[in-house]
Structure 1
Amino acid sequence: MLGPMGETRVIDAAERRARLGVRHRLAGSRRAGSAEEVGGALVALHATDPASVFLAVAARLARGVEPVGAVERALYEDGALVRMHGMRHTVFVFPSSLAAAVQASTTEPAAVRERTVLLRHLAAGSDFDGAWLAETERLVLAELGARGEATGTELGAAVPRLRSEYVYGPGTRQEGVQSVASRVLRVLGMEGRIVRGRPQGSWTSSRFRWALAEAHPVRDPAEARAELLGRWLGVCGPATEADLTWWTGWKVTDVRRALAAVGARSVTVEAGTGFVLPEDLGPVPEPEPWAALLPALDPTAMGWQGRDWYLDQEHRAALFDRSGNIGPTVWWNGRIVGGWAQGPDGGISHRLLADVGAEAERAIAAEAERLAGWVGDVRVTPRFRTPLERELAAGG
């Protein structure tokens, strides 16, 4: 969009943070009434760590809405949300209305690669071939059809082939013996033939039951990429080409084609050129002041590759692990200002890394109290530990 003097529309860091508070349902007046509403607003919730889904939704729910029941209903009863592999070979929770687009644009190509790699590993480290794998999968699907649902352990007991082992990386420093069970279930899940259901244990458990999945409608991959990118850009725009390529895991040519398909418009951001949907060029009013305690791998914290507009460089070492996974964070008005963890007594401890003033400190303390109130005596330990989270969890 060009201004009156032919200048490109500028969206500065302050306006980006305002958009974040409104569209990510973090400002108090913008919080949601259901888990389905949160999922639709954010497009994708990181689900590598099961607890993160519940914590991310809870941070965005209006007061009075019980988080665990809200998420479990949406995932396991209403089917409004679905857990599946998505961008960057990572497990996410998506709105079920987006599942077919995610499958066609992102998961299916990754599933093809995953099956190819599995067959190569089996050929190198065992006597199993494609016919053996196909028969094993047939038996697994038949067992799930008969039982309705089962854990990986239950399937292994019913289908002994799943307990077979192969040598991974023979002749290399990584050589070791592995079971085929997790690899077979992973491939079937990525191909959309089985789906993760309600886990054994509490909402923090990753021991999921598996069930047969409903077939996804066949979608044109290019159209699916345009749909997914358009939905995400409406929530997270402006975003640079680097942000979009990183978030989707697609080739840059696919990102550019999808941008063209949705009619994306270029704008100027601090990092250079960003993109927004054509109807999203107008200003966004700044919401009321807000505070939030977001979990490890929260979709807001992990939404962009370029994070300088909401994260100070000097805080990265404390808040990220060595692989680039972010831990639990404290936010004030669209900026990360600290981190939090459950202390030794199970209470919520937080530490501010910036001077935010008395108003912010009171608001952050209130959010910590709200979080502690619904978590109760459940212990939540992030799968990817970060320096500040470890220190606070140890009572530091």
Structure 2
Amino acid sequence: MTQPVNRVVLAYSGGLDTSVILKWLRETYQCEVVTFTADLGQGEELEPARAKAELMGVKPEHIFIDDLREEFVRDYVFPMMRANATYEGLYLLGTSIARPLIAKRQIEIARQVGADAVSHGATGKGNDQVRFELGYYALQPDIKVIAPWREWDLTSRTRLIEYAEAHQIPVPKDKRGESPFSTDANLLHTSSEGKVLEDPWQEVPDYVYSRTVNPEDAPDRPDYITIDFERGDGVALNGEALSPAVLLARLNDLGRAHGIGRLDLVENRFVGMKSRGMYETPGGTIYHAAHRGIEQITLDRGAAHLKDELAVRYAELVYNGFWFSPEREMLQAAIDHSQARVNGTVRLKLYKGLASVVGRKSPDTLYSEKVVTFEDDAGAYDQRDAAGFIKLNALRLRLLGRRDGR
């Protein structure tokens, strides 16, 4: 016996899965369904989602399509980038970082329309169910969460299509039969997984890539660009001031042309299994390299090395869905404090799949050519000081060596 539900807010894409969920929610819970579609820069026309929802009987005032691109980059992507966070050293967390914002907006809409439940289309095998629901519960502790993939008996793509056809739900032609792989996209990245990607020994087929040209086919001449930073955030590209979302979109265009940001990864999911995915993060890869570049000359060694340690924990929290946790907020406060003097300009060379830092300058630089030079430093550094420094650091090693007869 299902718990009574009056109204539910569904994270709705207009695709096959969420359209079936919309109908299933009505049948199973006898409730009113409110749809929410987030524009996170996935590059798709979203008005068809509105038309599909209306076709399925959702009231026009209960169809929400929100442009969240600026909020997404400003309040989620950029704070994460300040941390230089990469999950398992490689993944720039493109899917992970989008989920807390979607969850936040769903809860806001639920309050606005008086809904007593929220629902999502994430499967019971993946990480997204955890990310969505941790967000829901953090923001609305008593909200009812409906996760159809954990409740229904539609356990295959074939069963899903049969249900859709039995209930006159339009099935996109490319979804008939089994699709070769599944994708998720937003302004930061596109991810692909499943089917043709499930054998980790097999190279990713070229047709899977959608955001980047093959680096082998990229231009034979490099592009040189500059990114300006203020307090750890990018504010301008090639000297032109841009908003966060526009800056990332421009970097995406540059990264696409040069085949930058491809990643073939076997990762450890939070739910316990290993999965193989292909990620394309063209603009994010360029931005990540640039941010590390400006930190090289503006962060003190101790702060920089501590940040690298914190970044591992920060990335795990984002990947596992703990964006709204106190520990992530504590880490964010420390990271943001470190960015107070991360100002300046980075020059990058974009060429054949690579984004290489080739120059950096800052009014807050800690780099001193006078101190580091191999030429005459005019007394800026007394090389004789190194002898005592080395002896003090070697003292414990010498004592160990004497005791152990090395």
Fold shared by both chains (TM-score > 0.5): no
User: TM-score with structure 2 length normalisation?
Assistant: 0.24
Structure number, greater radius of gyration: 2
User: TM-score with structure 1 length normalisation?
Assistant: 0.24
